[in-house]
Amino acid sequence: MSRGVIVIYRPKKGKDAALLQLVNDHMSILKTQNLVTDRAPIIMKAADGSIIEVFEWKSADAIKQAHQNKVVQELWERFSQVCEYEIPVNIKEFQALFSEFEVLN
């Protein structure tokens, strides 16, 4: 059974463009490793500049595989150079009943 996730990336200072490019490349890299479904991700931006990505792993097992996959580990290292991960509760828009964001894709 597939597993949908919401990931929030808060760009490091001066890394906004690099982060957005990496997020735009993210799914194609995961697809080459056969870890995500063909469903297109939703990429949005919060008022504070954080990037929100909603996507679908193929399964809980695919998530486990990602944690042992060299290509994915290298990808996650690239993310760590341009952003910090955030939890939804720390994003102002998630405090509203209907959370609105700027759509980037």
Q: Tell me the residue type at 17.
A: A
Q: How do residues 52-64 score in pLDDT, each as one tens digit?
A: 999 999 999 999 9
Confidence of residue 6 (pLDDT cuts 50, 70, 90): very high
Helix axes 16-32, 70-82, angle to 10 degrees: 170
CATH number of the domain at 3-103, please? 3.30.70.100
Residue 97 has a CB neighbour count (10 Å cut-off) of: 4
Return the domain boundaries, the chain. Answer: 3-103
Residue 51 has a CB neighbour count (10 Å cut-off) of: 24
Q: Distance between CA 69 and CA 67 in Å, rounded?
A: 6
pTM beyond 0.85:
yes
